[in-house]
Amino acid sequence: MERVGLRPFLSARGGIGYHFSMSTWLLAASIAILVATVPMAWVYRILADLPRPIVLSHRRWPPWANFALIGAVTFNVALFARAGYYGAPRPPSSVGLHFLVAAVVYAFGFVMLLRQFSGLYRNVIGIRTLSESRGETRLGLEMRGGEILPLDLPTRHLPALAERIKESQPKL
């Protein structure tokens, strides 16, 4: 186990100086916090402040599950940082493979975080049926800005969508 703290040394001029040494795990965790935790927590905070959607595409997880996801991604980045910077020299193919694994885990973590907040929000002013085929309906969502976004939905879920939209409309 590496020691953390000040270590005395003799300088070239004959004086005594001190080196500050930190654990490689602590350094790797610091890098991982800056690279993974800060951006993911920032994005989660922005998404959590979104207004309540009319319909969510996926069920939202409890906050502790999202924090566990962010922690797992951070741990994986810390493993990569420690192995890449402070580990024994390895061939480039090994470093590249380790980087690929870390990048896939990082991207997967972001996708899992973002997909919980995808859904139908209040900026939709109209819905049209564009086409139907094999139990799936393609809808055109007309947005306040005038653009039309396509949405594929299983036909059996259309009544539930219509009910949720009707419930979300302001009562006059």
pLDDT at 150 over 90: no
User: What pLDDT digit, counting tens, does each position of 18-74 carry?
Assistant: 555 567 888 888 999 999 999 999 999 998 888 777 777 677 889 999 999 999 999
Give the whole-number percent of the chain exceeding pLDDT 90.
Answer: 30
**Contact, 111 vs 43, CB < 8 A?**
no
* β-strand partners of 111: none
- Give the amino acid at 25: W
| pTM recorded for the entire structure | 0.67
pLDDT at 156 over 80: yes
- Give the amino acid at 137: T
User: What pLDDT digit, counting tens, does each position of 90-140 carry?
Assistant: 888 988 999 999 999 999 999 999 988 877 777 777 788 888 888 888 888
**Contact, 153 vs 139, CB < 8 A?**
yes
Looking at residue 1, its pLDDT comes to: 45
Rounded Cα gap, residues 127 and 73, in angstroms: 38
**101's torsion region: left (phi>0), alpha (psi -120 to 50) or beta?**
alpha
**Contact, 137 vs 151, CB < 8 A?**
no
